[in-house]
Amino acid sequence: MNEKTLTHDESLQIIQRMILTAKNRITENGFHFILWGILIIIASLAEYFIQKSDLGIQANLSWIVMPLIGVPTALVYEFRRNRTDHTRGFVDTWYKYLWLGFGITLVVTIAISVLQHMSPIPFILALVGFATFVSGTIYKSVPLIIGGIIFWISGLLCLLVPPPEQLLINAAATLTGYIIPGILLWKNSKRESHV
CA-based nearest residue to 71, from 49, 99, 48: 99
Q: What span, in angstroms and rounded, lies between the C-alpha atoms of 44 and 128?
A: 15
Which residue lies nearer to another protein by CB, 52 or 96? 96
Q: Residue 117 interacts with another protein (CB under 8 A)?
A: no
| Residue 177 half-sphere exposure toward CB, CA atoms < 13 A | 30
Q: Which H/E stretch holds residue 56?
A: none
| Residue window 78-107: x/- pattern of binding to another protein, with contact defined by CB under 8 A | -----x-xxxxxx-xx--------------
Q: What span, in angstroms and rounded, lies between the C-alpha atoms of 62 and 69?
A: 11
Residues 10-39 contacting another protein, CB under 8 A: 10-12, 14-15, 17-19, 21-23, 25
Q: Residue 193 interacts with another protein (CB under 8 A)?
A: no
Which residue lies nearer to another protein by CB, 18 or 111? 18
Other beta carbons within 10 angstroms of residue 46's beta carbon come to: 19
Which residues sit at the interface with another protein, rule CB under 8 A? 1-4, 6, 8-12, 14-15, 17-19, 21-23, 25, 83, 85-90, 92-93
